[in-house]
Amino acid sequence: MMNTIDTTNSLEKDKSVNPQQTQFTSSEQPAQQNTAFVAQFETSAHTKKLQHGDVKISTQDVHVYYGETEAIKGIDLDIYQNEVIAFIGPSGCGKSTFLRTLNRMNDTIDICRVTGKVTLDQQDIYDPNLDVVLLRAQVGMVFQKPNPFPKSIFENVAYGPKLHGLARNKYDLEEIVENSLRKAGLWDEVKDRLTQPGTGLSGGQQQRLCIARTIAVSPEVILMDEPCSALDPIATAKIEELISELSEQYTIAIVTHSMQQAARVSDRTAYFHLGDLIEVNSTEKVFTQPDHQLTEAYITGRFG
Ligand SMILES: Nc1ncnc2c1ncn2[C@@H]1O[C@H](COP(=O)(O)OP(=O)(O)OP(=O)(O)O)[C@@H](O)[C@H]1O
Ligand SMILES: [Mg+2]
């Protein structure tokens, strides 16, 4: 966890002009200017995976329509195994819509239509014969607002493994639940209250419970749509730490309005604008030398 920038996750703050950010996007600044914001990249563990591994998810010419309105306008993107990729961009630019195409969550919206191709391990996920329930276990999703089921903490995590028949017996199930809660960094806080309602936990704990629930069905990819926006800075820091740990094992795509958060947790950042993917590059590059003027305007607070 980097301490060079604070954990405030406020839209207002991100979109105001941050003097540190303008510094390193201005052509008048020496390239080696070492602001605190830039310095984090040099010490950050996140630079670990910039040699790209296998492509985990690939989208080709993906368009999404709500009725007649085109919300995503032909996006090609490869997401690599075990990377954390952040999706950023102004409100309404299509980040959530695009994220939802990656596990067919848009299917649940009546007026929504998706064209183009999305593959997971080179398999077309829009194949009509595909089991969507299984797909959503493989490509799990964590939402902005923690949404535990109205069930006990144990049952929240046990639900998916039961549904998918992942446990042979009660002991198997208990082990899956414990391991998932441990990976989500919640076990110690809840181990003595597993039978109590999940909704009785704090917001940050509920979000970690939702992450445990996602992990419990052994996903390969985890999609997160602003997972910290309802959380305080301490809970946010915990989730961010967790994202870094989880990326050892999973591929993660995260939508965030916090550029500090994108910088802290992601290997690559994709900038969206009015339904287009404007650029995708290493997070360091996007925040220091973006290729596109629109990206620069956004990260320096001139647009958004
Ligand atoms: N269920 C829906 N029905 C109709 N239009 C929708 C629906 N969901 C999203 N849209 C429209 O699609 C566009 C993209 O919305 P989306 O929610 O993907 O943006 P976003 O980048 O996630 O925004 P935010 O940062 O505010 O969450 C917007 O114009 C939005 O109004
Ligand atoms: Mg959104």
Centroid of ligand 2 to alpha carbon of 260 (angstroms): 17
In a domain, 151, yes or no: yes
What pLDDT does residue 301 have? 87
Averaged pLDDT of the chain:
85
Ligand 1 site residues (CB inside 6 A) read 66, 71, 89, 91-97, 109, 111
Q: Could you tell me how many helices (H) and strands (E) the chain has, helices first?
A: 13, 10
Centroid of ligand 2 to alpha carbon of 91 (angstroms): 7
d(CA 147, CA 293): 37
What pLDDT does residue 230 have? 86
In a domain, 14, yes or no: no
Contact yes or no for 255/99 (Cβ under 8 A)? yes
Question: Of the bound ligands, which one is closest to the alpha carbon of residue 71?
Answer: 1
Q: Which domain holds residue 232?
A: 53-299
In a domain, 15, yes or no: no
What are the E-state strand segments in 67-164?
A: 69-80, 84-88, 112-120, 123-124, 139-142
End-to-end CA distance of the chain: 27
- Strand ranges of the sheet holding 123-124, from the earlier edge strand across to the other edge: 69-80, 55-66, 112-120, 123-124
Which residue out of 63, 66, 277 has the highest number of ligand 1 atoms within 8 Å of its CB and is therefore the one to mutate? 66
In a domain, 46, yes or no: no
For 146, 172, 227, 276, the CA distances from 230, given in Å and listed in that order, are 8, 33, 8, 27
Residue 37, pLDDT above cutoff 60: no
Instruction: Provide the domain count of the chain.
Output: 1
Q: pLDDT tens digits for 175-191?
A: 999 999 999 999 999 99
In this structure, the chain runs to a length of 304
Centroid of ligand 1 to alpha carbon of 188 (angstroms): 38
Report which ligand 1 atom has the smallest distance to the Cα of 272.
21
Closest-CA residue, ligand 1 atom 7, reads 66
d(CA 295, CA 291): 8
What pLDDT does residue 303 have? 64
CB atoms within 10 A of CB 198: 25
Q: pLDDT tens digits for 241-251?
A: 999 999 999 99
In this structure, what CATH number is given to the domain that contains residue 68?
3.40.50.300
Which residue out of 12, 93, 99 has the highest number of ligand 1 atoms within 8 Å of its CB and is therefore the one to mutate? 93
Handedness of CA 34, 35, 36, 39 (dihedral sign): negative
Residue 47, pLDDT above cutoff 50: no
Centroid of ligand 1 to alpha carbon of 94 (angstroms): 6
What pLDDT does residue 32 have? 38
What pLDDT does residue 199 have? 97
For 192, 279, 287, the CA distances from 293, given in Å and listed in that order, are 53, 10, 12
More confident residue, 125 or 43: 125
Side chain identity at residue 198, one-letter code: G
The continuous run of DSSP H or E covering 296 comes out as: helix 293-299
In a domain, 186, yes or no: yes
Name the token pair of 85. 């990729």
What pLDDT does residue 304 have? 55
Residue 81, pLDDT above cutoff 60: yes
In a domain, 6, yes or no: no
Residue 278, pLDDT above cutoff 70: yes
Centroid of ligand 1 to alpha carbon of 273 (angstroms): 12
Centroid of ligand 1 to alpha carbon of 186 (angstroms): 32
Least confident of 64-78, 168-182, 188-202, 226-240: 226-240
Q: pLDDT tens digits for 105-145?
A: 999 999 999 999 999 999 999 999 999 999 999 999 999 99
Which residue out of 88, 95, 106 has the highest number of ligand 1 atoms within 8 Å of its CB and is therefore the one to mutate? 95
What pLDDT does residue 53 have? 76
d(CA 151, CA 165): 19
Closest-CA residue, ligand 1 atom 25, reads 91
d(CA 252, CA 246): 8
Name the token pair of 280. 């995708």
What lies within 8 Å, CB to CB, of 59 at 6+ separation is: 75, 76, 77, 78, 98, 101, 102, 116, 117, 118, 119
Closest-CA residue, ligand 1 atom 22, reads 96
Report percent pLDDT > 90 for the chain: 78
In a domain, 60, yes or no: yes
Q: What is the pTM of this model?
A: 0.84
In a domain, 212, yes or no: yes
Mean pLDDT to the nearest integer, 260-288: 97
pLDDT band at 51 (very low <50, low <70, confident <90, very high): low
d(CA 21, CA 228): 22
